[in-house]
Amino acid sequence: MNKEINIEPSWKEALNCFFATKNFSNLADFVRQEYLSKKIYPKPEEVFKAFWLTPFYSVKVIILGQDPYHGIGQAHGLCFSVPDGIAPPPSLKNIYKEIEDDLSTKKNYQDGNLEPWAKQGVFLLNAMLTVVAHQPASHSKKGWEEFTDTVIKTLSDKRENLVFILWGNYARSKKVLIDSKKHLILEAPHPSPFSAYSGFFGCKHFSQCNEYLKSNGQKEICW
């Protein structure tokens, strides 16, 4: 990762104060060395993919994940999403189940690529944007969280009428960064098989999200 960050221009402008900090410089140095010495996911050119697919002023919905998938071929820069040809992981299958129940629609369980969501304004942000292969949370507390917290707070401060979807305790801990008077915050347990039956199933976040967008004059998401 270069210190001269290759990120979509509207995001670069929104976050330029953070990119000028010593903390970001240190993060860039760390990530670059990790790519040189270890197997890191996703590919370097996909680290900021969520930002390229969903420019700052196109964001309508934010879904927050924790860190990228650490298995071969899974991570491609969007939380919960996998590239074409990769089987959807269990959490994503549970997300599809909830969409089907909530919206009375059918999902293709062979297709786990969520790029169509991102292109509609669903910002699929992980709290950490890189991970060592087969080592979950290996890039935790290296500087990514400060960056993504800044992203969340900047969206909250500079935009209005966004939908923040927070699944699981880690994502819900980010609620303090969001102005609930300006935005809709939807919270539920994580869609993981370990917690989906504790309140994720039946949360109806997808219909609530669309109702909020529609009530604020925005186009609904085709989930």
Active centre residues (catalytic): 67
What is each CA distance from 61 to 16, 127, 177, in whole angstroms?
22, 16, 15
Instruction: Give me the numbers of helices (H) and strands (E) for the chain, helices first please.
Output: 9, 6
Instruction: Give the C-alpha separation, 182 to 171, whole Å.
Output: 19
Is the Cβ–Cβ distance between 79 and 174 less than 8 Å? no
Q: Torsion angle of alpha carbons 8, 79, 114, 179, nearest 10°? A: -70
Q: For residue 167, give the 3-state DSSP assignment.
A: strand
Query: Which 3-state string (H, E, C) describes 131-165?
Result: EECCECCCCCCCCHHHHHHHHHHHHHHHCCCCEEE
Is the Cβ–Cβ distance between 140 and 70 less than 8 Å? no
Identity of the residue numbered 100: E
